[in-house]
Amino acid sequence: MRAGGLVRRRVGALIKLLAASLQLVPLALATGIFGAAASLSVSSGTVGAATVATPRCTAVGLTVLQNLSAGTVVSVTVGGLPAACGGATLQATVNNGSTFGSGSVAVPAGGGSVTVPLGAAPAVTAAETTDIVVLGP
């Protein structure tokens, strides 16, 4: 009787273990699908957010003057560049609302002023926007 009871207890435990394992199958499958989905996109919640300021070579006002030819802007002269901008690349884009003209030049070592020839010459209108970006140095 003792031996029979021991067998019954072991069989019962085995059945419980099997049942518990079967319960894990759908959970594992579901978890597996979740895992696969997570691998498709980087979870923003696990990526640290930070802001790092990049240094600028100047924060003063630059003079931006249009050079005209027959009523169009053929180049712009940018002045007031400090020596700290020397070696950088200055890009300028003039936009009159219908035409863009862009160009870039290197800023001389000592700064100063540069004239940027434009690839296209926007006509002078009531107002033009000139975007200036200094890359580097």
Partner 1 sequence: MIAVALLVGVSVRAGSAAALSLTSQRLTPYRTCTITATPAGTTAVSDANVRQANPTTNFGATTTYVVSSAAAANQRIYVRFDLAVCSPAIASSAIVRLATLRLYVTAVPAVCRTLDLFPATVAWTEAAITWNNEPFGAAINNPPTASRTGSVTVGTPVGCVNQAAGAYITGATVTTDVAAFVAGGSTNLGWMIRDDAEGSATTRSETFSAKDLGTIAQAPQLVVTYVVVP
Name the residues that contact partner 1, by CB under 8 A: 24, 27-28, 31-32, 34-35, 38-39, 42-43, 46-48, 54-66, 68, 71, 80, 85, 88, 97, 124-137
The minimum distance between CB 95 and partner 1, in angstroms, equals 8
3-class DSSP assignment, residue 36: helix
The minimum distance between CB 40 and partner 1, in angstroms, equals 10
Structure tokens at 128: 């033009």
Stated as kind and residue range, the H or E segment containing 15 is helix 2-40
Q: Which residue matches tokens 């802007």?
A: 73
| Cα distance between residue 14 and residue 96, in whole Å | 82
- Give whichever of 3 and 126 is closer to partner 1, judged by the CB atom: 126
The minimum distance between CB 5 and partner 1, in angstroms, equals 31
| Cα distance between residue 123 and residue 112, in whole Å | 27
Q: Are 80 and 61 in contact (CB under 8 A)?
A: yes
- Give whichever of 117 and 124 is closer to partner 1, judged by the CB atom: 124
- Give whichever of 4 and 26 is closer to partner 1, judged by the CB atom: 26
- Give whichever of 64 and 105 is closer to partner 1, judged by the CB atom: 64
Q: Are 56 and 133 in contact (CB under 8 A)?
A: no
The minimum distance between CB 12 and partner 1, in angstroms, equals 23
